[in-house]
Structure 1
Amino acid sequence: MSILRRLDALAPGTITTVAGAGYHVGIEAKEADAGWPLGVVRVANGDLIVADYFGHRLWRIDGQGMLHCLAGDGVPGRRGDGGPATEARLYGPHDLCLDRHGNIYLSDLDNHTIRRIDVRSGVISHVAGTGSPGRGGDGGPAVEAELDCTCGVAVDDEGNIYLASEWMNNIRRIDSRTGVIETFAGHDARHYPSERGASRPFAGPGLSLGGYHGDGGPAREAGFNHPEHLAFDSRGDLYICDNSNDRIRKIDMTSGIISTVLGNGQRASNGDGGPATEASTLMPDAICLDVHDNLYVGEKYGCRIRKVEAATGIVHTLVGTGAPGYGEEGLVGSRTHCNACEAGIWADPDGTVHWGDCSGRLRRYDGATGIVTTAFGGTSVHDGEPAEQAFLNGPGGLSIGPDRRIYIADVWHQRIRAIDPDTGVIATVAGDGVRAYGGDNGPATQAHLGNPHDVSVDRRGRVVIADPRHAYIRRVDEDGMIRAIAGTGHPWDRGDGGPANAACVVHVVSVTHGADESIYFGDKVGRVRRIDAETGVIQTVAGCGLPGYRGDGGPATSARIGTPWAIEFDGDGRLYFSDADHHVVRMVDRDGRIRTVVGCGQEGHSPDGTPATEARLSAPRGLAIGGHGELYICDTGNHRVCRVGTDGVLTTVAGSDDGGDSGDGGPATAARLNTPHGLTLWSERILLVSDHFNNRLRAVTIGGR
């Protein structure tokens, strides 16, 4: 039976999973789905602990390779301090470290906090950060200080905690006796106001200027440029990933003097076989030291794992060819491609190394054989199998092709996937799993993509892809070849009135087709733009390029808008877009005037029956419009899908009081979703929902049969 017939047989208001195996525990980690493994440490009993940034969990991999949950319930949020870590909510856990007692410290990045898990009791507690981003608090209690993009955390033998603040370009220290936080190296946080975007010499809103200086002098006076990760050696000296300076630096904790131990500042990855200080390292993002004080480095854009020998200071590559790739299984490290290595790396005494890469996997280099395998995250995404068994990783935008295939933007797998409506089998139509840019004018399945957030298929079956990371819009033609149709690769906002392929586009997150097959897309600078189907000329249709929420009743091109995360048209040609930044849905009428149709501009949750323009939403994303003008909305932060009918009233069609992963086979309004992102109508009865952090595609039956 086809998927469509199977779904059509369900009672109205029922929810079920169409694609995605989701998260599982109690199975082999190497065969389990993962979000984005980053931080990794090995605890005293030999278990590996892994921070899953997109899974919002800490996982434990035991000695038999079985997967268990250590912290987090998978729903992004902040709660549970003082209770069991397994019942807590995390939001983007990034880096991990251990103190000398084996307690786990984690950078809960998107909560702007540092948290601690007691090794004996399993209780989680709050160590630093107010939960609001900022830079204030030096000289006071760490729990009252503001943190902002604290990517790295390390603890010395005395229990003092060190934090790498990427956007503040400094290292901060929390005194173990007093709990007071101070700047330890780099810029003093007290010299900067807490208000983000204040008028000071920052590199941007909320950023302090980065730089490179200070080697040979006091670390307190040194300049950093996006310090990402920290580690201590056996002597107690502190090593720092100075990412955008392309260096690894060391602070002698006795003298306080800073020096460079790897990198010459050139933006390259070379110098193997020579002194580390004369070699280049390309945006190092992860470091660790083994018990012998050998230094291991994961390069974000060098796409390598490198090692600096403690005895000689010589650097060489363990894993990676220097070109990004979806690393194969069972090859020696020098022949294995690496995806970008960010934040997480751990080295055992025997030279075995684990690291997280951007393919959604934790990889393992065997210190004895040099062979690379996958330890967590699956050895494949299960193409060619029933869609319910496949791995998805943060499904985003959805589209239905002329052949009724379901197209999915599989964001963090760096792929566009498609489900055959008759067989239910899933396949990749674009992307090879590598987060990079490449492959234009070749087979789409061999191309690199950069976090593809949305997809739209035209009447000819051509697949248009929002490729935000690399400032392009790309298209897969009928022959399966991919090419860029808009953008130059430069993240600027210009080019209106000229050819789209000569225009600049910035972080495109949404794409759709109009009735005439013109392409409409939304970007993060606050515009909706159009590529004319006949001429290829690009024009802005909404937004003036300045972020904000104003302009209702006037020309759409003069209005201030936030990021348009989804764009849809109704049957009368009116354009709708979701503005997650301002918690509204806005509409551009055929005369070019803009107005708000859903949401009052304040974040929150409103009960069913609330008039649409008075309702509170939370970061709405996906949209779909039915044949009678009914509007479906992903009320993303509320973990719901809502409907606004022709009566102008808001009602819930899927999701319940809280986020989670449950309810298949039952009423959709009793089910739990986890940050739904994308919507599309497969038929007048079947609404498809990308359940983003559950890694599933779910279907809701609506209306009568």
Structure 2
Amino acid sequence: MRRVLLFLVFASLIYAQPADAKSPVGIVRNFGPDLSAQCNLPEGIAADPRGRIYASSLNFNATSGSANICVLDRDGNIVDLISVAPATSSGVAKLLGMLFVPNEGLYVTDIGGGRVIRVDVRTHAVTPIASGFQAPNAIARDRLGNLWVSDSFLGTITKIAPGGATTTYSYPTELAPLAGETPGFGANGVAFDRNERFLYVAETSRDQIYRIRYDNGTLGAIDLFAQGVAGGALDGADGIAFDVKGNLYVCSNQSDEIAVLDTAGDVVAEYRGTGADAFSSPASLVFRGRTVYVTDLALFHGGAGQKLSVFTAPHAGASLVIGARGQGDGELGDGQPGDTDDQGDD
């Protein structure tokens, strides 16, 4: 009952607020074209300081060949295609999580090659960063410059230091997928809270969000933060991201919604969309100011609805790249110093 009351109060507040110039708060709409041809089964998403949006192709049913990253401008036009070749000549590229870091490039996980790569978005050059994963999925970055990568099959989180050294932390009881689940993903989306006290991890097969104690580049104890329900909030918990108020946005890929959790782990809002603008297996999300972009994987809809969606949130997104002008740079209102949480995305 408490969750229902919180949601009703929250919803009444956000819909009473002034909308930004593009869309009222909470109204989900399609962004850009159908991506089935250029970026089959769009999974990962990232944004750069100039407002470009990157969507990766999971390429789920492919058995060989390259996969694309679609680059869209602010109006939703595809302005570039980055082709990523497989790790081996006989392999297949299957791209998942992405993170854009200024002056470094676009970090991407490739489940087909069991690796993490860095892509130069101007030259399209691909540099291997780390390998040996079974199912590398989402990527987060701490203020020390370490990358943190979830492995959905092993239930692990791997730290990739700036020099390339790796350290793996295993949480098989909490983060390894349940037996018999399809497609069998455990640890999925990852995100640090604003103060970097915890690394939050979505667990897809159990519909849960965990948090892992973080201290100066080291992970510690893990505990349950939020439990979802089948057919509702967190069902198929996937990509996650924080806003500047500490609310956690969670893609629920099997219930076709994005749930918002407050700092206590309670559901305070759920976004779905309607009709042709409804979500279709939402997989990942990224903030640009208060504007939230979402990949619609469409994996549980027979491939129908392979697209991006967009909606306006009540508050701006928290910075994903602390200490660098990064994904959702200061001009985009991502909550870096000088931003206000009620500004638009432009």
Output the TM-score relative to the length of structure 2: 0.65
Distance 1:209 1:247 in 2: 11
In structure 2, the residue matched to 1:328 is 275
Match of 1:183 in 2: 168
1-structure distance, mates of 2:185, 2:96:
19
2:151 aligns with one of 165, 186, 190: 165
Aligned-partner SS, 1:241 = strand
2:128 matches 1:117: no
Cα deviation for residue 311 of structure 1 reads 8.6
Query: Which residue identity does 1:78 align to in structure 2?
Result: A
User: Which among 265, 279, 285 is matched to residue 238 of structure 2?
Assistant: 285
Is the 2:57–2:96 Cα contact (8 Å) retained in structure 1? yes
Residue 69 of structure 1 corresponds to 80
CA separation in 2, counterparts of 1:31 and 1:109? Answer: 23
Give distance in 1, aligned partners of 2:145 and 2:102: 8
Q: Does 1:247 align with 2:200?
A: no
SS at match of 2:223: strand
Match of residue 561 from structure 1? none
The 5 A counterparts of 1:20-419 are 29-30=32-33, 33-34=37-38, 35-54=40-59, 56-72=67-83, 77-78=86-87, 91-99=93-101, 101=103, 103-118=105-120, 122-129=124-131, 146-177=132-163, 179-187=164-172, 226-236=186-196, 237-254=198-215, 256-263=220-227, 266-269=229-232, 281-310=234-263, 313-319=266-272, 328-329=275-276, 336=278, 338-342=279-283, 344-358=284-298, 359-367=304-312
Contact 2:57 2:67 in 1 (8 A): yes
CA deviation string 1:664-683 (max 9, x = no partner): xxxxxxxxxxxxxxxxxxxx
Q: Residue 291 of structure 1: CA displacement?
A: 3.9
Residue of structure 1 equivalent to 2:329: none
Task: After superposing the two structures, state which structure 1 stretch, 360-369 or 34-43, moved more.
Answer: 360-369
Going from structure 1 to structure 2, the CA distance change for 1:68 and 1:253 (only over 3 Å counts) comes to same
Distance 2:77 2:126 in 1: 23
Structure 1 residues 176 and 353: alpha-carbon distance in aligned structure 2, compared to 1, 3 A threshold: same
CA distance in 2, matches of 1:291, 1:362: 27
CA contact under 8 A between 2:225 and 2:265: conserved in structure 1? no
User: CA offsets per residue over residues 588-640 of structure 1, 9 Å max, x none?
Assistant: xxxxxxxxxxxxxxxxxxxxxxxxxxxxxxxxxxxxxxxxxxxxxxxxxxxxx
Question: Which residue in the other structure is 2:339 paired with?
Answer: none
Q: Flag structure 2 segments of 5+ consecutive residues without an equivalent.
A: 1-30, 60-65, 299-303, 315-346
What SS does the aligned partner of 2:98 have? strand
Q: Distance in 2 between matches of 1:172 and 1:159?
A: 14
Distance in 2 separating the partners of 1:368 and 1:64: 18
| CA contact 2:34–2:306 (8 Å) conserved in 1 | no
Which amino acid in the other structure matches residue 340 of structure 1? Answer: S
Find the aligned partners of 1:296 and 1:153 in 2 and give their Cα distance.
16
Letter in 2 for 1:243: T
Which structure shows the bigger proportion of residues in strand conformation? 2
Distance 1:311 1:248, change over 3 A: closer
Q: C-alpha displacement at 1:166, in angstroms?
A: 1.3
Structure 1 pair 328–243 and aligned structure 2 pair: CA distance change class (3 A): same
Task: Measure how far apart 1:294 and its partner are.
Answer: 2.4
Instruction: Provide the alpha-carbon RMSD of the alignment.
Output: 3.4
The one-letter code matched in structure 2 to 1:66 is: N
Q: For residue 376 of structure 1, what is the aligned residue in structure 2?
A: none
User: 1:346 offset after TM fit, Å?
Assistant: 1.6
Supply the distance in 2 between the matched residues of 1:119 and 1:37 (Cα, whole angstroms).
18
**What is the total number of aligned residue pairs between the two structures?**
261
Q: Structure 1 residues 59, 181: CA separation in 2 closer, same or farther (over 3 Å shift)? A: same
Q: Is the 8 A contact 1:345 1:356 kept in 2?
A: no
Within 1, Cα distance between the matches of 2:220 and 2:47? 29
Work out whether residues 57 and 69 of structure 1, in 8 Å CA contact, stay in contact via their aligned partners in 2.
no
Deviation for aligned residue 1:283: 2.1
In structure 1, distance between residues paired with 2:58 and 2:155: 22
* Greater RCO, CA 8 A, separation 6+: 2
Distance 1:109 1:115 in 2: 11
How far 1:318 sits from its partner (Å)? Answer: 1.1
TM-aligned CA distance change 1:293 to 1:41, over 3 Å? farther
Name the CA distance, whole Å, in 2 between partners of 1:314 and 1:233.
17
State whether residues 90 and 108 of structure 1, in contact with CA within 8 Å, keep that contact through their aligned partners in structure 2.
Answer: no
Distance change in 2, residues 1:183/1:304 (3 Å): same
Cα distance change of structure 1 residues 107 and 312 upon mapping to structure 2, 3 Å threshold:
closer
Q: CA deviation at 1:297?
A: 1.0
> 1-side partners of 2:83 and 2:48: how far apart?
18
SS at match of 2:112: helix
TM-score normalized with structure 1 length? 0.34
Larger radius of gyration: 1
Deviation at 1:160, TM superposition (A): 1.2
Distance 1:303 1:363, change over 3 A: same
Aligned residue for 2:214, secondary structure, equals coil
* 1:317, distance to aligned residue in structure 2 (A): 0.7
Report deviation, 1:105.
0.7
Structure 2 letter corresponding to 1:71: I
Q: Distance in 2 between matches of 1:228 and 1:44?
A: 25
Matched residue, 2:25: none
Alpha-carbon distance change, 56 to 282 in structure 1, aligned in 2, over 3 angstroms? same
Letter in 2 for 1:261: F
- Mark the CA change 1:267 to 1:319 in structure 2 (over 3 Å): closer, same or farther: closer
- Structure 1: stretches of 5+ with no match in the other structure: 1-27, 81-88, 130-145, 189-206, 212-223, 271-280, 321-326, 331-335, 370-705
Task: For residue 366 of structure 1, give the secondary structure of its aligned residue in structure 2.
Answer: strand
| 2: CA distance, partners of 1:229 / 1:368 | 19
Which secondary structure state, in structure 2, belongs to the residue aligned with residue 301 of structure 1? coil
- Distance between the aligned counterparts of 2:253 and 2:170, measured in 1? 23
Question: What is the SS of the residue equivalent to 1:302?
Answer: coil
Change (3 A) 1:109 1:368: closer
